[in-house]
Structure 1
Amino acid sequence: MKKLRDYEIGIAKLSNKQHLYEFELDDSFFDLFGKDIILGGNLIAHVELDKTESMLTFHMDIKGHVRLTCDRSLDEFDYPIDVQSKFRIKYGDENVELDDDLWQITPNTQAINIAQHLYDYIGLAVPMKKLHPRFVEETDEDDDDQDILIYSSRNAAESDDEDDDDDEDVDPRWDALRNLN
């Protein structure tokens, strides 16, 4: 079973250049975070770390699929994930998150654990409405077949001006209804 330590990158001894890492994210990875949204999956995360004197820049490319529960039928299904993201870490006086994609760490920090970042980026790629692919196709067809209802209301002055020519063709019962204002 994988542990959070498996996703640590030791930065203290790294030289100032580009470093490449690859992480396999399987069911044991998702077990570390609970199975509230994502039940499991099989993904590969390619992480490119650019280290400089003042900053660390992580470029992540995550591809594969996750197992979700359909909101409509409660069936499990595989959902494809393809995420490219980037976050930065700069050196400062304290360990603090400055922004969603910018952290600050002290210069004596030995390692960075990226497990939570990987999980968060995968979680952001999961749609709010999780539908099994068979329902997605039905929803797309329903959207195309919807009729459009156009409602138009005119005031009495407009209808008198426009309907002067059409008075011969109008049923007298409609004339009685027009006077009911």
Structure 2
Amino acid sequence: MKKLRDYEIGIAKLANKKHSYEFEMDDSFFSLFEQEIILGGKLLAKVELDKTESLLTLHFDIKGHVRLTCDRSLEEFDQPVDIEETLLIKFGPENAELDEDLWQITPETQTLNVAQHLYDYIGLSLPMKKLHPRFVEELDEEDERDILIYSSRKGGDSESDENDGDDDDDIDPRWDALKNLN
């Protein structure tokens, strides 16, 4: 069983250069968080940490899949995940989140736990509506039909727009009475 400590990076004794880390995430990783959205998965996160005197730059490259429940059929399915994110951490007087991609930690901080960042990046990459792949294909076909219907109703090209002046015969005669109100 994995613990949050498995996702710690000791930053206190690191030299000022680039360092690479790999973290494997499976069902036990997602069980560490109190949530019901992600049922499990298998992912590999490659984290490249570039340390300077005043700044840590973490580049996350996360690939794999997570197991979700379909919103339509309640079936479980695997959702592919391919994420690239960058997090900047600067040193300052207190620990604080300054922006979504900019954090501040004290110079005395010994370790940096990236588990919450990994989980957040994965969670934010998921689609709002979780659909089994077979429904996504059906949805794509429906969208294509809707686009075709909309574009055929709209009229389309400019040549047909030039000839629209000849279509006054097709207008309901009740509209002619409204034109005379001016």
TM-score interval, normalised by the smaller of the two chains: 0.7 to 0.9
Q: Per-residue deviation at 1:89?
A: 0.6
Per the alignment, in what secondary structure is the counterpart of residue 20 of structure 1?
strand
Partner of 1:26: 26
RMSD: 2.5
Partner of 1:131: 131
Deviations 1:26-77 (A, max 9, x none): 0000001134211110000000000011110100100000001101000000
Other-structure match for 1:106: 106
Quickly say closer, same or farther: Cα 1:11–1:150, change in 2 above 3 A. same
2:49 is matched with 49
From the CA coordinates, give the structure whose radius of gyration is larger.
1
Kindly provide the amino acid, as one letter, of the partner of residue 47 in structure 2.
V
Match of 1:3 in 2: 3
Q: CA deviation at 1:100?
A: 0.4
SS of the aligned residue for 1:78 comes to strand
**Letter aligned with residue 130 of structure 2:** K
Equivalent positions of 1:1-181 (< 5 A) are 1-146=1-146, 147-148=149-150, 150=153, 163=168, 177=174
TM-score by length of 2: 0.84
Higher helix share: 2
The Cα of 1:124 is off from its aligned counterpart by: 1.0
Q: Aligned partners of 1:128 and 1:178: how far apart in 2?
A: 45
Inter-CA distance 142–106: structure 2 relative to 1 (3 Å threshold): same
The aligned amino acid for 1:26 is D
Distance 2:111 2:154 in 1: 64
Identify unmatched segments of 5+ residues in structure 1: 153-160
- How far did residue 7 of structure 1 move? 0.5
C-alpha separation in 2, matches of 1:47 and 1:6: 14
1:158 maps to which residue? none
With structure 1 as the length reference, what TM-score do the two structures score?
0.84
- Give me the whole-angstrom Cα distance separating, in 2, the residues matched to 1:100 and 1:12: 24
CA distance in 2, matches of 1:69, 1:50: 37
For the structure 1 residues 10 and 137, does the alpha-carbon distance in structure 2 shift closer, same or farther, using more than 3 Å as the test? same
Number of residue equivalences: 167
Kindly provide the CA deviation profile for residues 106-154 of structure 1, in whole angstroms up to 9, marking residues without a partner as x: 11110010000000000111000110000000000111112227489xx
Deviations 1:75-123 (A, max 9, x none): 0000000000100110111111100011111111100100000000001
* Percent of paired sites with the same residue: 68
Cα separation, partners in 2 of 1:151 and 1:25, compared to 1, 3 Å: closer
Instruction: Give the Cα separation in 2 of the matches to 1:39 and 1:6.
Output: 20
Structure 2 unaligned residues grouped into runs of 5+: 156-165
Residues 1:110 and 1:145: Cα distance change in structure 2 (over 3 Å):
same
The residue type equivalent to 2:103 in the other structure is W
